[in-house]
Amino acid sequence: MSMGEKVCPYCKGRFWPSRYHQNQRVCSSPECQRRRRAEYHRKRLDTDPVYHEQCLHSQKKWRERHPNYLKRYRAERRSRAPSRAERLRLVKELRRLADLIESDAALELPPFLAGTLPGCKGGSQDEFSPTIPKYRSRLWSQTDDRILVNLVGCKPLRLIARLLYRSTREVRSRLEYIGRRFGRA
């Protein structure tokens, strides 16, 4: 480091002070300048009661000029689309559910349906063949029913419909059928 070169206390980078301001101790990067001003403001608030009072008065005047700012701000934040973190959480949950379905972990039947679905003890294919409305593009399989029954209490219908590649109307209709068929309505 040469004679005129200094080290910034914030970013630890080397810089040459301004020839017009030889006592410059912070480099000219915007982040370091922001930190310098914030540190100065905090120190001045702690040491100068008049400055502290002036800042409080200034904040109070601003709030009086903008009385509904905080209400509008909070309302806008609530009405916005989900944040990136929320979207990532939802994607992670969808992937976890898809993995459960692929690994057959979600296909375990609850005790009240054991023996009533085809392929289980006591069930037969004949007693489980529903009449399918014409708008359905494909029939409901045993696997679809198991997934539906296992997820219905803990996941929203829209999510279940997406996992089963069906509409929410189809899922709702199937749930009504299962409830009528097995006395759970």
- Could you report the per-residue pLDDT of 109-134, keeping only the tens digit for each? 454 444 444 444 444 444 443 443 44
Reply yes or no on whether the pLDDT at 19 is more than 50: yes
35: which 2 tokens? 């930190």
147 and 164 Cβ atoms separated by less than 8 Å: yes
103 and 110 Cβ atoms separated by less than 8 Å: no
- Could you report the per-residue pLDDT of 52-65, keeping only the tens digit for each? 999 999 999 999 99
12 and 31 Cβ atoms separated by less than 8 Å: no
Q: Give pLDDT, residue 182.
A: 62
The answer to whether the predicted template modeling score (pTM) of the entire model surpasses 0.75 is no
Q: Which of 90, 92, 143 is nearest to 120 (CA)?
A: 143
pLDDT confidence tier of residue 166, bands split at 50, 70 and 90: confident
| For the chain, domain boundaries | 1-36, 86-181
- Kind plus residue range of the DSSP H or E element containing 6: strand 6-7
Q: Give pLDDT, residue 108.
A: 52
Q: What percent of the chain stands above pLDDT 90?
A: 34
**CA atoms of 112 and 119, how far apart (whole Å):** 15
Angle between helices 142-151 and 168-181 (to 10 degrees): 90
